[in-house]
Structure 1
Amino acid sequence: MALYAVERIDDAVDMTRSFLSPVEAGRWGRLAVVVAFLLGGTGGGGGAASTVTNTPTTAGSIPENGLPELSAEFPELTGTAVAVVIGVIALLVLGGLVVAAIGAVMEFVFVQSLSADEVHVRQYVRRYAGKGVRLFGFRIVLGLGTLAVLGGATVLLFGDVFAGLLAGEVGVPSASRLVVGAILLVPLGIAVGVLVALANGFTTEFVVPIMLREDRGVLAGWRRFWPTLVDQWKQYGTYVLVAFGLHIVTEIAGTIVLGIAAVALAIPFLIVAVPVGFGMIGSGTITAGAVVLLVALLAAYLLVLFVAAAVIYVPIKVFHRQYALLVLGDTNTNFDVLGDRRPSQSL
Structure 2
Amino acid sequence: MFAIDDLSDAIDVTREFLTPVRPGTWLKLALIVFFVGGTGFGGQSFSGGGGGIGSETPPDTGTDPGTAVDFAEWLPILIAIALFFLVIGLGFLFVSSLLEFTLLETLRSGEVHVRRYTSRNVGRGAHLFGFRVALGLLALVLLGIPLIAIVLSGIAWELIGLFILFAIPVGIGFAVVDRLTTVFVAPTMLERDLGVVAAWKRIWPTLTSHWTEYVVYLLLVWVLQLVIGFATMLLLLVLLIPFLILFFILLLVPFLNLLLLLFVPVLVLLFVLFSALIQVPVVTYLRYYALLVLGDTDPELDLIPEQRAAVRDGGSDRTGGTGGGWDSDDDGPDGDDRGWDDESDQWGRDESQDDGWDDTGSRDDTDTRDDTDSRDDTDFRDTTDSSESDDDRDDRDDRGGW
- Off by >6 Å, runs of 4+ in structure 1: 78-81
Q: Measure, in 1, the Cα distance between the counterparts of 2:105 and 2:280.
A: 15
Q: Which has the larger radius of gyration?
A: 2
C-alpha deviation, 1:320, in angstroms = 0.4
Q: Measure, in 2, the Cα distance between the counterparts of 1:145 and 1:78.
A: 29
Q: Structure 2 length as normaliser, TM-score?
A: 0.69
Q: Measure, in 2, the Cα distance between the counterparts of 1:294 and 1:238.
A: 49
| 8 Å Cα contact 2:250/2:259 also seen in 1 | no
Aligned to 1:18: 16
Instruction: Give the partner amino acid of 1:127.
Output: R
C-alpha deviation, 1:84, in angstroms = 4.8
**Partner secondary structure for residue 55 of structure 2:** coil
Q: Measure, in 2, the Cα distance between the counterparts of 1:319 and 1:70.
A: 58
Q: Measure, in 1, the Cα distance between the counterparts of 2:267 and 2:14.
A: 30
Aligned to 1:221: 199
Aligned to 2:33: 35
Structure 1: runs of 5+ lacking an equivalent: 55-66, 162-172, 281-289
Structure 2: runs of 5+ lacking an equivalent: 314-402
C-alpha deviation, 1:53, in angstroms = 4.5
C-alpha deviation, 1:160, in angstroms = 3.4
Q: Measure, in 1, the Cα distance between the counterparts of 2:54 and 2:259.
A: 33
Aligned to 2:289: 323
Q: Measure, in 2, the Cα distance between the counterparts of 1:160 and 1:183.
A: 15
How is 1:22-101 mapped onto 2 (pairs within 5 angstroms)? 22-40=20-38, 43-44=42-43, 45-46=46-47, 47-48=49-50, 49-53=53-57, 69=61, 71-72=63-64, 73-74=66-67, 76=69, 84-101=77-94
Q: Structure 1 length as normaliser, TM-score?
A: 0.80
Q: Measure, in 2, the Cα distance between the counterparts of 1:149 and 1:78.
A: 27
How is 1:216-295 mapped onto 2 (pairs within 5 angstroms)? 216-275=194-253, 294-295=260-261
Q: Which region of structure 1 is more displaced relative to structure 2, 11-20 or 33-42?
A: 33-42
Aligned to 1:64: none
Name which of 4, 7, 12 aligns with 1:6: 4
| 8 Å Cα contact 1:8/1:323 also seen in 2 | yes
C-alpha deviation, 1:82, in angstroms = 5.6
How is 1:124-139 mapped onto 2 (pairs within 5 angstroms)? 124-139=117-132
Instruction: Give the partner amino acid of 1:251.
Output: G
Give the length in aligned residue pairs. 305
Percent pairwise identity: 32
Name which of 95, 120, 135 aligns with 1:102: 95
Q: Measure, in 1, the Cα distance between the counterparts of 2:177 and 2:71.
A: 44
Against the structure 1 CA distance between its residues 146 and 34, is the aligned structure 2 distance closer, same or farther, given a 3 Å change threshold? same
Confirm or deny that 1:200 pairs with 2:178. yes
CA RMSD of aligned residues (A): 2.7
Against the structure 1 CA distance between its residues 70 and 299, is the aligned structure 2 distance closer, same or farther, given a 3 Å change threshold? farther
| 8 Å Cα contact 1:41/1:102 also seen in 2 | no
Q: Measure, in 1, the Cα distance between the counterparts of 2:39 and 2:193.
A: 23
Confirm or deny that 1:143 pairs with 2:109. no
**Partner secondary structure for residue 253 of structure 2:** helix
| 8 Å Cα contact 2:37/2:283 also seen in 1 | no
Q: Measure, in 2, the Cα distance between the counterparts of 1:247 and 1:78.
A: 41
